[in-house]
Every structure is written in structure tokens, then in C-alpha cells.
Structure 1
Amino acid sequence: MKLYEQGVYLLRGTELVANGPQAQDEIRQKTGQEVTKEEAAKQTMAYGILESHNTSGNMQNLQIKFDKLTSHDITYVGIIQTARASGLEKFPIPYVLTNCHNSLCAVGGTINEDDHMFGLTCAKKYGGIYVPPHQAVIHQFAREMLAGGGKMILGSDSHTRYGALGTMAMGEGGPELVKQLLNKTYDIAMPGVVGVYLTGSPMKGVGPQDIALAIIGEVFDKGYVKNKVMEFVGPGVANLSVDYRIGVDVMTTETTCLSSIWRTDDKVREFYEIHGRTEDFAELNPGQVAYYDGMIEIDLSQIKPMIAMPFHPSNTYTIEELNANLMDILDDCEKRAKVSLDGQVDFTLKDKVRNGRLYVDQGIIAGCAGGGFENITDAADILRGASIGPDEFTLSVYPASTPIYMELVKNGCVADLMETGAIVKTAFCGPCFGAGDTPSNNGFSIRHSTRNFPNREGSKLQNGQISSVALMDARSIAATAANKGYLTAATDMDVNYTKPKYYFDKNIYANRVFDSKGVADPNEEIKFGPNIKDWPAMSPLPENLFLKVVSEIHDPVTTTDELIPSGETSSYRSNPLGLAEFTLSRKDPEYVGRAKEIQKAQKALEAGECAGQAVPELREIVHTVKKTFPDVNHDNFGVGSTIFAVKPGDGSAREQAASCQKVLGGWANIANEYATKRYRSNLINWGMLPFLIPAGDLPFKNGDYLFVPAIRQAIIDKTKEIQAYVVKDGQMQPFTLQLGALTDDERDIILKGCLINYYRG
């Protein structure tokens, strides 16, 4: 794998020319064309799709309107509630509400199924589509029923990626979907486009997760594709089945790219034909001379079976390398654990080494990444006639949709898998985010799913419970299962892959999915369960701001799972205050109490009372500030909390990572950088200031008070650097905060306190 250090031209889809002094001469010799870099940049597939969806008339500052929207049952209640509070009357474009996260309805009484009834009645009232629990995971339904060549889809799940089908899809926080529901736009600067140039064919036994992990391991730490579009090109694309391409594509989220797109061909046309949607196919290719801001060159034949060890998809090794350097790599995992787990529990995988080999407790093939037809049929071929054994090791397989499940039943793969001792379950995302198949304490799970962040498999560090996940391809998971839990690469197995043909049964969805066909019924009464609550009132940004630092996180990356844990807490996603009680609960259990304590001051101000009376320690802070800023008083300041994290926001698109801080009185985050655009957007949409400070010495610590004078005017004036002060021991120590780029609308949202206030006027 090669990463180019400069831009690259792609000629006729088959030849690369690195940008440099001789590039134009070489292009002229090989193509007979004179083309500028600016003209060639318009020849990417990404540029063409973005241009066709841009409403601004300015390709440097995009205002995108999407063709379709999709959400699942962790996010759609909050999105619709926000949109309703902002004036929603009808879904203006197709909006699909799937139910694949809170599907089990096993925790929290009736509240999960109450959310589903809310979703069904909203689909009827506002003209949407409702996919009942266990029918399909969100992304598989979108592939089967929504994707279209040259189209754009926005989803409230970070793995909204349908590039292999010619659809540019993006995962964002819920407020960005609210904007689309209110006929507003998705506003971004024109993203960079990085090519992924594929050659060769994968070796037998290497699957899409192996390719994906190899890419993630190479680019994540470098930030090579951060907030850019990955465009898959080159002759190697034709050597991959569509299922295979989908399996690579969905994992591009873990590179922190913005979106993805692939060249399409007759194999993609056949996918649409199988699903009865031939008219949605469009052939996509870059132009004769296309310019990319970067290029990842991959010879598929050189990729070996991979494993991403705990606690990140970028912590990658070949399985061969792991087996050859087992104890050294396990040492490295222990060092990473001390950082990721803050020393809360003792962690080791060395006790999994038996007779020099790594033993695994659990295998999972599931969800939008692992649950595809080809992944499971190949796994069945590896396991046919084998046994997973009667020891600790277990294997669960979750087909990504009921149509896939049905075909696996018809062709005998389900019987083959179950005979080995594996369990085949319904379409459900639970194993991916800690709501199903949590291993035992100190258990080690290998999964063909999307993430292996700490806590995401269901651990509760505060209770002393820890397990861990490694990511692998379904084929090597099956090979490990065939060897009764001993880690094995699929390339070590001599297997005849039967590659059965897939047949899609459209009647499964026709008989069960509610589709309004875009017709709203305003007389439909929405069903509200007792846990579905409205958003609390939120104040506009004050003239001056007192912030108390209530959490300080120095991990290299802080994931959204650590900001608001997934798993059983997801049952409370429809109750903003109820869910907020879990904020940072597995990372900093003291956070909620500290945030609520300082929030008392803001609530006092809003009630016309004295902030210092509600929070006595604030009196000295205000007194110190008034020595320098005598005009500061209860009529022109606000009080709230902030957290510091080095690089927050990797992972899920869930808006609750920000909104939970907001409803607890959070006014800001302070970071060295933000891991993803979507998390920063979530902060802004909930009226929180996305401050930045340079890496290095931190001018404050947990528990300190900060004062940001004239913050409201600074937002209005588009000030990029803002003077702030640490207020401590009767002194004010100045330091500088930065805000980064903000659109005019984003500034207005912050000024008004949140997106709901912005749309209310």
C-alpha cells in the first residue's frame, strides 16, 4: 500500500501521474490533452455528484440537498421531536425509520417498543417509511431499497456509506437531518477528494474486512483522509463482487473520511436488477483526466488476513504477524489499555495464550459490515462439517436483513452453520454497540462488525467488568471457529468456496414494511410513550460566559461511546434528561454531578435570582472578574460547564454525545482538535462552542473556572481568536481560545442557543 505525499492525476481510469513540475508534460504526452489541475479536479465522480446536489451556485461553499434520509431507533425520536418543535409539517423527501438498535425491547420496560410505535405513527403522519424490528439493519435496507447511482443519502448513523452502489452517503448527527426535514441545506466547504486506486485481486480467503482494516491501519493516525471523500477507482474494482465492495466501503467511516464513492459497472447493474430496481443504476467513472488531492494505491493481491486488536480499528496487524510476535503485541495491548481504560481495571490478554496460540472466547459475524450474504456463505463453506466445540468459544451470526436470512435458509447455509454449534439470529446491530452478545468478564471477542472501542462491547469499568474486541473478517472468524477458538487465518484453510447465487425476495418487505409513498396523513395521532420527552428550554448565548471545567480527558482520542455510552443506555435516547444521567459515566463518573452543580447557577439566573446564592463558590470568581471587567453583572453573563478532551468525537454520529452535555448546562468543549466533522457539527447545532487550544501545556485543570468576556460579540464579529481567562486564587491568567471556521448559520445557531431556537426565530 502506498500513500502519495502530493496530489495525483488519474488518466483514463488506469494510470497514475503524481503532481509535480513534469506532470503536465507527461499528461500531454499520454493523452494529448492540456488540462489544468482545477479542471481535472472537476472530473472526479465526487465532484459531479456534489455539483448536482449543490444549491449555492458556489462549488467552494456547498449547500447540499439530499435525495433521501434514513435513521434508526436510537436517533429518529430525537430528530423528529426537534423537527416538530421547529415547525415540521411533512417529510419533504423519503425518510426511512428503521428499528435495528433498540430491537430487543428487553431493557427499561416498554420504552423501546414505545419508541417504535412513535416511529410508525410519525411515518404515517408525516409521510415516511417504517421498517419494523428484525427486518433489516439500517444500512442493508438502504442498500437494498434506497441507494441509486449518482444520488445522495444522509443518515443519522455514522456508517451511512453506500458508495459501492454509486451513492454518496454521509452519516451525521440528528440536527443535520432536521435541517433537511425543514427544507434547509447541508452546508460544508468543498471537501478534498482522495483516490483509492485498486489493482489485482484478493487472495483466496481474504475478505473485505481485511482490505478495510489494512486501509484504516495505514491512514487513520496520519489523518490522510480526514473529512475528505474517498473515491475508489482502478482496474482492481472490477475484480471485487458488489458484496465485497460494500464490506470495504462501510468501514471507510473508521478512516474519519466524510463520504465515499466507487466507480460502478455491470456487477453493480446486476445488484440493482436482483433487487428489482434496474432504473436506479447509473454507470459512474472519473473523467479522462481526474485530479485527486491524495492517492492510496493498493495491490489487493498483497493484502493478508488482518486483525484490529483492542481498542481501535486502526490498531492493526496481519494475523500472521500477530501469531509470530504474540507476546510483544499483547504487551502493546496492555499499554494501550492503561491509556484507554484509565487504569480502572487490570487488563491482559496473555491469559488467552494456550500452548503458544491465542484462544478466543467468542466470534460474531453481524450487522452492516459482517452480515452480508457473501460473508456468511463463505463462512458456512469454511465451517461445513466442522464443530465449534463444547468449550468457552461461541459463534453467533446475524444476517443483515430478513431477505438475506431467507435466502440463507433456502440454500442450506443456516443449517450448515447451526449444525456446527453456531447460532443464527435476526437482523440486529446490538453486537456492534454493546446491546447484545457481551462476553464474560475478561472475555475476548473477534467480530466482523464496525468498531472495537473500549466499553462498546458492553463492559462496565465502574463495576470492574471488562472484556475486549478484535475486528476480523468473517472468513477468518469462521476459520477460528473451525479450530474451536484458536486464532486462525482463513488463508490457512483449504476451502472450496461455493459462491451460491443470491435471490432477493421482495415480498418480505412488501408484506411488512409500512411505506406511505410520500403521502402524509395529518390526522394521524402520534403515540407517545411515557419515556418520550420534549427537549428542555435552552437559553441564548450570553454576552459574557463563566465556564467551569468539569472533566479533563487526556486520551489521544475520545470516542462518542465514552462521551455517552451505548448499550442498555440507548433505551433512554428519547428522554433527553434521562439519558443525560449517563454522560461520561464510564469515563468520568463524577462528570454528571459536577455539571449539574454548576448548572444551578444558570438556572438561578434564568429565574431572576442570584447565581452566587445558588453556587456560593461562584461569588469569589465573579468578584475577581469584576476588578478587571466592572460592567459584568447578573444581567449580562451566563454560567455553564465545559470539558477538555485532546481529540473528542471519534466514532458514532449520535448527536447525544453533544446534546447530553447541553441539557446538563454545557456551553462548550475545549479540544486540541475534533476527531470528526460530525461531532463538531453536533456541538454547534446544540449551541455549544467548539473551542480549540494548541496541543501542549494546558492553561487550566479540572475544577477551574474560566471567564470568556464578550463572547457573544466575538461570535457576531467572526473573531477567530478569543481572549479568555483562568480565574483562580483571586487572579486572572489570560489564554487564547480559537473557534475555527463557522458558517453564518452556525454562528446564528450558537447565538440563539441551539437549532430549535434558531428555527423558532
Structure 2
Amino acid sequence: MIKLYEGGAYVLGGKTIVEDSNDALARVKEMTGIDTNKNEAKKGTIAYPILEAHNESDEEENLKMKFDSLTSHDITYVGIIQTARASGMKKFPMPYVLTNCHNTLCAVGGTINEDDHKFALSAAKRYGGIYVPPHMAVIHTYNREMMAGCGKMILGSDSHTRYGALGTIAVGEGGGELVKQLVGSTYDVKRPETVAIYLTGKPSDYIGPHDVALQIIGKVFKNGYVKNKVMEFIGDGISNLSVEFRNGIDVMTTETTCWSSIWRTDEKVKEYFEIHGRPEAYEELNPSKVAYYDGVVYVDLAEIKPSIAIPFHPSNVYTIEEFKKNKVEILKGIEEEAKRMYGDRAKLDLLSKVVDGEFQVDQGVIAGCSGGTFDNVVAAADILDGKSTGNGKFALSVYPGSQPEYKELLDNGTMGKLMDAGAVIRSAFCGPCFGAGDTPANNEFSIRHTTRNFPNREGSKPSDGQISAVALMDAKSIAATAANGGILTGADEIEVAYSNPGYKFNSQIYERRNYNGTEDFDESKDLTFGPNIKDWPEMETLKKHLLLRVASYITDEVTTTDELIPSGETSSFRSNPHRLAEFTLSRTDPDYVGKAKEVRDASDKLMAGDYSEIAGIIEKINEVEGDVKAEEVSLGSTIFAKKPGDGSAREHAASCQKVLGAWANIANEYATKRYRSNLINWGMVPFILDGEPEFEKGDYIFVPDAREAVLAGMKNIKSYVIGETVKAMELKLDDLTDDEKKIIAEGSLINYHRNN
């Protein structure tokens, strides 16, 4: 059972919930003897003192954060370091972990992926970073093992930067926010609200972390219950979960659109740090005797059942039992959704996979920061011990999260069991999570213990007629399905004795291969540049007025970052801004790049003093606005989307638009703070529009005195739609910090730091 409280609540001693009401404080006093108020009780959460310890602002509600360490992988670190260099960085001011777990395979683009890896090693030596070579560890496993600590804060350029189960508030953001830390600035954010995730009861043996995580996501994603908030895990049920079980739930909190997470800690967390040779990282964390939460998600772990999240989002959750009973109707719905998204470009035929009343799966994958944990892999091996995955169409791949975990799984016989059963064992690699590993064949159905099942996330290309489908499931049920020859099977449908062996961490594996330069950096060392690593293009500052042309008009309810800039094969070009920009919106609006370039070319002419491209538009504008001079106008493209930015933290979803000449996004709302921050850091205005747009693709939108409006922090901004006629329209801007206003006015974070 999962219950969402309609309002806030006081939690007493981390156990008793008192719903907020007119007499709530009187009841709190009666039960605890403590006379308090809501504002004081908000300070009783686990999150509050951690945020305070990292806050450099004197303001209660507007935080300016400095983090303990940073982390990036090989899709993001080149752009971040290049931006920081251009912004004046001389050294890494805090530990910065550079992992190589995304562009691990170097089959696409020739040498360029490995060129990026060598760039990272040279940067670690020059600026004082930590370099984790390919195949050694996925980003989040390494940070759990080596960097997390109770009361710490970690900022990462990957959306799944979550180490709350280890007492660490970790935040996934776009690269611009890491650049700010690297050049001595702060991460600025309004104090987030905190929602209690109250876990009680004990899960059945056949339940794994994905079952719990998916059920929570299914309850809170679509209604925005925890959006941009801290999910704080409390309750007696935590003690019934291993630390790796907690980690598996925690990493999936990203899919709720929360800001971050934190858990109460206990002896099991203490033991985890001791096993990893870092006993000093432990501190017992609990809410105070009275803590106020802005909401409560009550989860009875004993009632969770094996679950499946069907395409194309982790929130599309059913129990496996429900899915099997209603599979024809559910599969028809998936096919219809694919047709709505892709029309005749690609077709899914999932009903053909129902054979003799059973649903036949084509592929299983257990991998990465969510699936490749020690506990998950051991449980899968226990289920498959002495069985066979079959030598037909179905295939199972297992990716341990790190080389130390891999070594222990070898030593204790787990890997032998899996290989004997027919599973293929791979190295630590995030590829299956973003379409660069184990891509299914066209029209195949893959079940995965990974983080996402967005469209194309598995690597297909619907624009080329290729499409496959991914459903998320727990490792236990994936193994049960594998043991049943690929027929969809929940872990509750089989009997197994789980071995639950202890874990021994071998630190030598890292000591003998990784490079740690945090105490040993040398500014005289040169960076190693491959031919694909390019500098960011020059970006103009915002002039007095802003003229936008709508280059894409997206009507989907939610637009993910994967749709804005596809994952998979594009990853190899993420050190080359111009090359990567060619993929922008390629799977959602293939015309976008050409339309954006037309506007960029016109802007280049405008910058050179040739105003012919917009002379007619300026003439129309002056009919309503007065004396507008073309030389005072910044011209750029924009996109409209209802709710853009769900999913990945990758800044490329914004930077590629900027490279193509964009000056803004217009949206009914932004799915995540991190995407909005990415827009700002690339000098784009994150406009809000209430209701349906009065413009179409190809229309111009004129924002008079845009620079002044941004710098003044105006909430409501007069603008005009310039089509066949001129129509007045109101755009809105949510709160911007002083620095954010200046970044937009300067045209980018790079310009802001360079000029200031």
C-alpha cells in the first residue's frame, strides 16, 4: 500500500505521524511536551541541517550552496572543463571525480571516445582530479563506494546523482552548475520543501528495490507530488532493507522529478562504510523529536508486489500480475502510443509476442547504478542456479556496477552460476541505460533493471523505421523470466533460497589503476586534445530587444531531454558542440535544425549590419511599439513545448539549441529545475506561457525591452506575435537570482565569468 497525504504532517521521533490541522501543534505538545511551531519544526528534518552546513547565504529561503565534491562522466566532463577553462578556472577547488562509464565503447566515431578519456586524465593531472578509467566503475557506484559520507553534499552532471541512502544529499544538474563550483561561485536555489517517504513493514523475499521504487514513482510522478523537493526516507521499514536495497530505491528517486533525497542512517550504513575502508564517513542521521514535512508518502513494504513499468516511462507501473491478466489491452495501448509519437515512421507489433496465452520477452538486462549492485546480481544468480536461459531468442546480460564488485562476485561463485545458466557477463558500463549497449532488434521487447525506459532510450531510431520497447523490472523478476525461457514471470511465481553472502571490498583494484590527483596537480601540464574536442562558439550578449522565431512547436504532454538531444550514438560527439547540434530534436522534429540554422544565418547578417532579413518584421513591430531599431535587436530561434526537460541532466539539451542560435524556450512549465538551469546557463530565457499558444511554428515573437525585463526580474512581460497580423501576448518569468539575470543578459555563463 502506498498512501499520499493530502497536506503536510509532523513526525514525532521519526515514528508517529500527526497530520497538519488546526489542532496539530496542540497534539504535538501533548504527545512530546515540546512547544513549537511549523517553521521551527521544519528545521527538524534530516535535510535541514545538511543544507545549512553547506549554505553561504544569509537568507533563510534563498540558498547559496558549496558542495563537498563533484562528479561527471565521459559524456559531460569535456564540455564542463572546457567551459570552466574559458571562465578562468586554474584548478579544481574540491575533489572532482571523472568517470568513464558512458562513452566506454569506442566503436562509434573512431578514436574520439578514447580521446576524451585521455583528455580527462590530463585534466586530472593538471587541475587535481580523480580519474576512473573505462570499465572500472559506473559513476554512481564509484561515488557510493569512495565519495559519499553522512552529512555531505555531492553535485554531479548526471541526473541520477543520488546517494541519499548513505546520508549524502546529492544533486544531478547540468554542467553549468558544476562550472560555477569550479570557478568559486555557488549553486543558488530556493530552499526546497521536504516530503517524508515513510517506509514501514518488511518486503517479501521475492521483492527487490526496483519493485518498491517503481511503485513510488507511479504514485508521485504524474501529480508532481515531490517535484523539485527533497524526498526524506524515514520509518521503521528502513531497518528491514540492506544498504544496497536502499541504494537501488534511492537512485530511482530521480524519476519522480524530486530535487534530491536523504535517508535516516543506522548500523547497516555504518557497516557499509567500514567494509569500504571509510569508517569516518558514518554519522547517525535521524529527524529531530519533532519534524515537519510538506507531504508524506506512506509505503507499506509488505504489500509491494513484483512490478513492471511499461513503455514509455517509469511511471507507467503495473504489478506483473496485473500486466499478465490485462496484457492484450495494455499492449494495444503501447502500440497506440508508439503510433501517436511516430506515425508511419515506425511500428510496434507487441501483440505478436503473446503466444499460447503467455507474453514472450526477447531480452533481459541487469545493469548500472540501479541494477548492477552486488545484492541484485547475487539474487539473480541464486534464481538461475542450475537453470538455463535457453539457447533461443531470449538473451540475458549482466553488468556489475564496479570492478571491485565484479571481483567479489567472481570469488564467491556468483558469476559462475550466471555464466553456467547462459547469461553474458559484461563490464561496468552505463550503455544499456541510454541506448549504447545491448540495443534490441527492431520490434523486440526488453525487460531491464536500469533507470529509464523513455522512447529511443534503448537505442532504436524510429525516424529510420527502427523501434523497440523497454520495460523496467527488478533483477529478481528478470532472472525468474530468464529461468522460464523468456516467458514473463514474476519472482513471486518461483521458489528459491537466497544466499545473501557477505561482501568484501578490494581497494587495491582502484589503488592500482585509478589516478587521484587531488593533492598533486600541476598547472604546467598540458591538456591532451583529440581532433573532435572543440571550443564553444562565441556567443553574443542580449541586446535591448529580443526577436524570436518559433523553430519547433511540440504538443506532447512531456518532452524529455532524450527527445531534445537523443542519447545513444550521439554521445560520441558531445565534445564537439557543432557536430552534436546537428542531432537536436532529430527524433521529435527533424525539420528543427534546418529551421534554427535559417534564423542563425539571419542573426549573423544582423550582427554584420545587414538588416534586410528582418526589415519587414521591424516595420510591423513599429506599427505597435514605436521606434525599434534593428541594430538594437537580438534575433534567435525558440521552441515551444508544454513541459520540456524531464529526464537527463545533460546540458546538451540546452547548449545544442544555443549553438544553433536559440535565445529562449517557451513552455507551460518546466519538467525539472535542472533543465531550466541549463537554459539559463546557456543564456536562454526560460519563458512561461499560460494556456494555449497564440502562435504557430514559423511565427516571430517580439519581446520589447527584453534585456531590461530580465535584469529587473519582471514577472509579466509584454510581447507580440508577428504573423500575418500583430497580436499582443504576455509571457512570464519565474524568479531568477541576480546572477541568473546577469548570465542571460551576458548571453551565457561563459560570457558572464569572462566579463566579470
Aligned to 1:737: 731
Amino acid across the alignment from 2:693: L
- Establish whether residue 573 from structure 1 lines up as the match of residue 574 from structure 2: yes
Q: Comparing 40-49 with 16-25, which one deviates more in the overlay?
A: 16-25
Aligned to 1:47: 48
Equivalent positions of 1:643-654 (< 5 A) are: 643-654=639-650
Aligned with 2:318: secondary structure? Answer: strand
TM-score by length of 2: 0.99
- Establish whether residue 689 from structure 1 lines up as the match of residue 698 from structure 2: no
Q: Do 1:680 and 1:690's aligned partners in 2 also have CA atoms closer than 8 Å?
A: yes
- Establish whether residue 669 from structure 1 lines up as the match of residue 669 from structure 2: no
Amino acid across the alignment from 1:722: I
TM-aligned CA deviation for residue 82 of structure 1? 0.2
Q: Comparing 352-361 with 680-689, which one deviates more in the overlay?
A: 352-361
Aligned to 2:699: 704
TM-aligned CA deviation for residue 347 of structure 1? 2.3
Deviations 1:597-639 (A, max 9, x none): 11111111222x3132xx4xx3322221122334222210121
Question: Structure 2: 5+ residue runs without aligned partners?
Answer: none
CA RMSD of aligned residues (A): 0.9
Aligned to 2:746: 752
Q: Do 1:610 and 1:634's aligned partners in 2 also have CA atoms closer than 8 Å?
A: no
Q: Do 1:107 and 1:571's aligned partners in 2 also have CA atoms closer than 8 Å?
A: yes
TM-aligned CA deviation for residue 343 of structure 1? 5.3
Amino acid across the alignment from 2:229: K
- Establish whether residue 719 from structure 1 lines up as the match of residue 714 from structure 2: yes
Deviations 1:523-543 (A, max 9, x none): 111000000000000001121
- Establish whether residue 628 from structure 1 lines up as the match of residue 624 from structure 2: yes
Question: Equivalents in 2 of 1:28, 1:598: separation in Å?
Answer: 64
Equivalent positions of 1:111-190 (< 5 A) are: 111-190=112-191
Amino acid across the alignment from 2:716: E
Deviations 1:93-117 (A, max 9, x none): 0000000000011110110010001
Q: Do 1:459 and 1:466's aligned partners in 2 also have CA atoms closer than 8 Å?
A: yes
Question: Equivalents in 2 of 1:33, 1:720: separation in Å?
Answer: 41
TM-aligned CA deviation for residue 192 of structure 1? 0.2
Question: Equivalents in 1 of 2:697, 2:518: separation in Å?
Answer: 53
Amino acid across the alignment from 1:748: K
Question: Equivalents in 2 of 1:45, 1:652: separation in Å?
Answer: 26
Question: Equivalents in 1 of 2:525, 2:711: separation in Å?
Answer: 42
- Establish whether residue 435 from structure 1 lines up as the match of residue 415 from structure 2: no
Identity of aligned residues (%): 61
Question: Equivalents in 2 of 1:338, 1:66: separation in Å?
Answer: 44
Aligned with 1:34: secondary structure? Answer: coil
Aligned to 1:28: 29
Aligned with 2:722: secondary structure? Answer: strand
Aligned to 2:655: 659
Q: Do 1:535 and 1:576's aligned partners in 2 also have CA atoms closer than 8 Å?
A: yes
Aligned with 1:377: secondary structure? Answer: helix
Q: 1:59 to 1:518 in 2, by over 3 A?
A: farther
Q: Comparing 516-525 with 140-149, which one deviates more in the overlay?
A: 516-525
Amino acid across the alignment from 2:124: A
Aligned length: 754
Equivalent positions of 1:212-361 (< 5 A) are: 212-341=213-342, 344-361=345-362
Aligned with 2:630: secondary structure? Answer: coil
Q: Do 1:339 and 1:555's aligned partners in 2 also have CA atoms closer than 8 Å?
A: no
1:678 to 674, 680, 702: 674
Deviations 1:253-305 (A, max 9, x none): 00000000000000000000000000111110000010000000010000000
Question: Equivalents in 2 of 1:667, 1:24: separation in Å?
Answer: 49
TM-aligned CA deviation for residue 339 of structure 1? 3.6
Q: Do 2:618 and 2:630's aligned partners in 1 also have CA atoms closer than 8 Å?
A: no
- Establish whether residue 641 from structure 1 lines up as the match of residue 644 from structure 2: no
- Establish whether residue 611 from structure 1 lines up as the match of residue 631 from structure 2: no
Question: Equivalents in 1 of 2:339, 2:9: separation in Å?
Answer: 40
Question: Equivalents in 2 of 1:501, 1:91: separation in Å?
Answer: 37
Aligned with 1:603: secondary structure? Answer: helix
TM-aligned CA deviation for residue 410 of structure 1? 0.5
Aligned with 1:549: secondary structure? Answer: strand
Question: Equivalents in 1 of 2:611, 2:276: separation in Å?
Answer: 61
Deviations 1:464-511 (A, max 9, x none): 000010000000000000001100000111000000111100000000
Amino acid across the alignment from 1:724: S
Q: Do 1:155 and 1:170's aligned partners in 2 also have CA atoms closer than 8 Å?
A: yes
Question: Equivalents in 2 of 1:611, 1:225: separation in Å?
Answer: 48
Amino acid across the alignment from 1:754: S
Deviations 1:547-581 (A, max 9, x none): 11011111111000000001011000000111000
Deviations 1:702-734 (A, max 9, x none): 1111111111111122211111111122x2111
Question: Equivalents in 1 of 2:604, 2:82: separation in Å?
Answer: 23
Question: Equivalents in 1 of 2:278, 2:304: separation in Å?
Answer: 34
Equivalent positions of 1:21-100 (< 5 A) are: 21-100=22-101
TM-aligned CA deviation for residue 342 of structure 1? 5.1
Q: Do 2:713 and 2:735's aligned partners in 1 also have CA atoms closer than 8 Å?
A: no
Question: Equivalents in 2 of 1:476, 1:621: separation in Å?
Answer: 60
Amino acid across the alignment from 2:729: F
TM-aligned CA deviation for residue 352 of structure 1? 1.1
Q: Do 1:42 and 1:48's aligned partners in 2 also have CA atoms closer than 8 Å?
A: yes
Q: Do 1:216 and 1:314's aligned partners in 2 also have CA atoms closer than 8 Å?
A: yes
Q: Do 2:68 and 2:94's aligned partners in 1 also have CA atoms closer than 8 Å?
A: yes
Aligned to 2:366: 365
Question: Equivalents in 2 of 1:343, 1:707: separation in Å?
Answer: 36
Question: Structure 1: 5+ residue runs without aligned partners?
Answer: none
Question: Equivalents in 2 of 1:348, 1:14: separation in Å?
Answer: 49
Question: Equivalents in 2 of 1:207, 1:522: separation in Å?
Answer: 47
TM-aligned CA deviation for residue 30 of structure 1? 1.3
Aligned to 2:496: 495
Structure 1 runs, 4 residues or longer, greater than 6 Å off: none
TM-aligned CA deviation for residue 25 of structure 1? 2.2
Aligned with 1:661: secondary structure? Answer: helix
TM-aligned CA deviation for residue 218 of structure 1? 0.3
TM-score by length of 1: 0.98
Aligned with 1:722: secondary structure? Answer: strand
Equivalent positions of 1:442-457 (< 5 A) are: 442-457=443-458
Question: Equivalents in 1 of 2:447, 2:196: separation in Å?
Answer: 30
Question: Equivalents in 1 of 2:64, 2:293: separation in Å?
Answer: 22
Q: Do 1:67 and 1:152's aligned partners in 2 also have CA atoms closer than 8 Å?
A: yes
Q: Do 1:7 and 1:293's aligned partners in 2 also have CA atoms closer than 8 Å?
A: yes
Question: Equivalents in 2 of 1:659, 1:518: separation in Å?
Answer: 33
